[in-house]
């Protein structure tokens, strides 16, 4: 039996006050709060286990290495990958995308095409622009419908044998749209294109299976999954990752180094130059275990209930417009109130102890598409409650009254 | 013309009367609403101070050593603080503006409005106002 009050006990920060009120944390799309077990694992690592990984012959190095590699196994199971070495540890989703985009500079040639979409986060736009600048490949963009869905028919017309890569988000951080990525992947593969999915907003909300999706590359961040900051994952099919040249040079990523010729290590080490965020990777396992133990059907049930309730309640407030009304939506509500700037809403809600995000959410093309300066965004997580939504709605009404 | 210090002192006295943050913010919102909009011709990209969250337009004119500011913002809270800054600085001598110590913003409890994370263009606006003054003062 799922009890949200028991879940809340596991997140120490949820007990604190902000501006004299109990914190209501609705900025989970930006970063989730951290589990006590994650905090304890980080702390215990530095107290009891600290040492560099994959290097020493001594006891602590072996211990740290085992724990570090244990997380890799846990993630492989969590996302249904075929091999452990298909899991690359990075700093986060942005880093994962940059790793791939940098590599594709060398794999693409003039006239090749990359397809992205209008609803991408800047981190799934700018790396590809940089990639195109270097490789002289061309960037194509799938347009957005008014409800926040992508125009699949337009996507089909963009696909051709020139398409080498399709990079899409699984869930839009601004609009909450859950893209039908399986369909995009199948269609892309028919023209021989590889597919990268930005799963930053998806990995803590829905089950993932890389082999079922048949996706070539998939990226996500630990800090949006109740885990530590500074840890991310790039999943890639073995043969795809083998074709991508190394991103950064340094220790650990080499086989042999001489001034005449250096050869690179095998996967995953080829892409993990330098000392990684060892404590973060080890603690990430605690976050994955929390999500796995809870199970995605429980998570989806609770979060969908909150989304439905919050949507219904916010629409009762006169002048509210929600951006992103796809039938398949994750727990994200982007909204504006007629005649009011989202920044003003954010500032006043903050004074009432409520953390939401305001602005363009690093998705300026979406804001331009809807001709708005930004939105106020509520993004939900497993520890949020119906009561918190009630408090937020009352606070929005109060803010609206002050601003009108 | 009252001196910058005197105007700041008056603002502090006004804010002292408020019992809670709601009254304070409502006052700011009213100031924002009452601030005369900047002439459309001055809402140019050149006069735009970009914040990630809200935008500020600032126009300055010199009148025999004094500087007249007009400004606008798309967010009303930002505009309220803009109105306070104009109240304090507009019409003052370039030299006084260049050397003004604007500590009233801290003292009335709006420091967080000027933090970098708010990215609302206010910090850049103050900097820009002083830069105008320094340029003219020379």
- Is the minimum CB–CB distance between A346 and chain B shorter than 8 Å? yes
CATH class for the region spanning A39-292? alpha beta
List, as ranges, residues 316-345 from A with C-beta within 8 Å of B: 340-344
Write out chain B's pLDDT in tens, 138 residues: 789 999 999 999 999 999 888 999 999 999 999 998 888 888 888 888 877 688 889 999 998 889 999 999 999 998 998 999 999 999 999 999 999 988 888 888 777 777 666 667 778 888 889 999 998 877
* Contacting residues of A for B77, CB less than 8 Å apart: 343-344, 347-348
A273-308 burial, b if ≥16 CB within 10 A, otherwise e? beebbbbbbbbbbbbbebbeeeeeeebbebbeebbe
A121-157 burial, b if ≥16 CB within 10 A, otherwise e? bebbbbbbeebbeebebeebbbebeeebbbeeebbee
Report the CATH number at residue B58. 3.90.1010.10
ω into residue A137 within 30 of 0, thus cis? no
B112 lies in which domain range?
A: 4-137
What is the domain count for chain B?
A: 1
The highest-confidence range among A243-257, A293-307, B31-45, B116-130, by mean pLDDT, is A293-307
Asked if B29 lies within 8 A of A346 by C-beta distance, the reply is no
In this structure, what DSSP letter does residue A246 have?
A: P
Q: Which candidate from B25, B52, B78 shows the least CB-CB separation from A402?
A: B25
- Is the minimum CB–CB distance between B30 and chain A shorter than 8 Å? no
Dist CA A44 CA A48 (whole Å): 6
Catalytic, A392? Answer: no
- Is the minimum CB–CB distance between A21 and chain B shorter than 8 Å? no
Asked if A341 lies within 8 A of B29 by C-beta distance, the reply is no
List, as ranges, residues 40-59 from B with C-beta within 8 Å of A: 52-55
Dist CA B138 CA B135 (whole Å): 6
Asked if A343 lies within 8 A of B29 by C-beta distance, the reply is no
pLDDT tens for A202-211 read 999 999 999 9
Matching residue, tokens 């809270």: B77
Task: Count how many pairs of residues, chain A against chain B, have C-beta atoms within 8 Å.
Answer: 42
CATH 3.90.1150.10 segments of chain A: 4-28+295-396
Asked if B53 lies within 8 A of A402 by C-beta distance, the reply is no
| Nearest CA-CA distance, residue A123 and chain B, Å | 16
How would residue A57 be classed by pLDDT, with cut points 50, 70 and 90? confident
Cβ atoms of A337 and A320 closer than 8 Å? yes
* Predicted ipTM of the assembly: 0.90
* Contacting residues of B for A373, CB less than 8 Å apart: 54-55, 74
| Nearest CA-CA distance, residue A12 and chain B, Å | 24
Q: Which candidate from B25, B74, B118 shows the least CB-CB separation from A341?
A: B74
CATH 3.40.640.10 segments of chain A: 39-292
* Contacting residues of B for A342, CB less than 8 Å apart: 53
Question: Where does A4-28+295-396 sit in CATH, by number?
Answer: 3.90.1150.10
């Amino acid at each position: 039996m799922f009890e949200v009050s028991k879940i809340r006990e596991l997140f120490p920060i949820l007990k604190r006050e902000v501006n004299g009120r109990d914190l209501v944390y609705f900025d989970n799309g930006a970063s989730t709060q951290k589990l006590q077990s994650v905090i304890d694992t980080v702390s215990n690592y530095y107290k009891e286990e600290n040492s560099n990984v994959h290097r020493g012959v001594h006891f602590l190095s072996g211990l740290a290495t085992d724990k570090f590699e244990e997380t890799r196994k846990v993630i492989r199971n969590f996302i249904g990958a075929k091999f452990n070495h298909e899991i690359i540890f990075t700093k986060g989703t942005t880093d994962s995308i940059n790793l791939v985009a940098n590599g594709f500079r060398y794999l693409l040639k003039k006239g090749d095409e990359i397809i992205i979409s209008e609803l991408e986060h800047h981190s799934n736009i700018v790396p590809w622009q940089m990639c195109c600048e270097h490789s002289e490949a061309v960037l194509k963009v799938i347009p957005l419908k008014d409800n926040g869905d992508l125009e699949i028919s337009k996507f089909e017309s963009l696909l051709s044998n020139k398409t080498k890569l399709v990079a899409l988000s699984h869930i839009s951080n601004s609009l909450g749209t859950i893209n039908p990525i399986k369909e995009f992947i199948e269609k892309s593969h028919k023209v021989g294109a590889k597919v990268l999915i930005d799963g930053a907003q998806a990995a803590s909300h829905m089950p993932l299976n890389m082999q079922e999706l048949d996706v070539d590359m998939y990226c996500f961040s630990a800090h949006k999954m109740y885990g530590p900051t500074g840890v991310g994952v790039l999943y890639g099919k073995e043969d795809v990752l083998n074709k991508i040249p190394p991103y950064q040079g340094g220790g650990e990523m080499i086989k042999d180094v001489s001034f005449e010729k250096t050869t690179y290590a095998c996967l995953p080490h080829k892409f993990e130059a330098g000392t990684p965020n060892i404590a973060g990777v080890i603690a990430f396992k605690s976050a994955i275990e929390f999500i796995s133990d809870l199970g995605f059907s429980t998570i989806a049930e609770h979060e969908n209930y909150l989304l439905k309730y919050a949507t219904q309640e916010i629409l009762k407030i006169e002048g509210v417009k929600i951006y992103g009304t796809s039938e398949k939506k994750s727990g994200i509500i982007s909204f504006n109130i007629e005649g009011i700037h989202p920044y003003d809403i954010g500032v006043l809600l903050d004074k009432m102890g409520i953390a939401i995000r305001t602005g363009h959410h690093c998705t300026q093309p979406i804001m331009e598409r809807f001709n708005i300066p930004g939105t106020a965004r509520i993004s939900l997580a497993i520890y949020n409650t119906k009561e918190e939504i009630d408090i937020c709605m009352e606070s929005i009404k109060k803010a609206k009254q002050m601003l009108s | 013309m009252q001196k910058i210090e005197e105007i700041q002192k008056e603002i502090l006295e006004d804010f002292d009367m408020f019992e809670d943050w709601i009254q304070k913010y409502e006052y700011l919102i009213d100031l924002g609403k009452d601030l005369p909009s900047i002439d459309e011709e001055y809402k140019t990209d050149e006069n735009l101070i970009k914040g990630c969250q809200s935008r500020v337009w600032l126009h300055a004119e010199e009148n025999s050593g004094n500087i007249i500011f007009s400004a606008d913002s798309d967010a009303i809270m930002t505009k309220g603080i803009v109105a306070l800054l104009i109240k304090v600085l507009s019409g003052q001598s370039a030299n006084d503006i260049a050397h003004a110590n604007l500590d009233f913003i801290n003292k009335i409890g709006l420091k967080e409005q000027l933090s970098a994370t708010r990215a609302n263009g206010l910090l850049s606006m103050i900097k820009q106002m002083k830069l105008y003054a320094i340029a003219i003062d020379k």
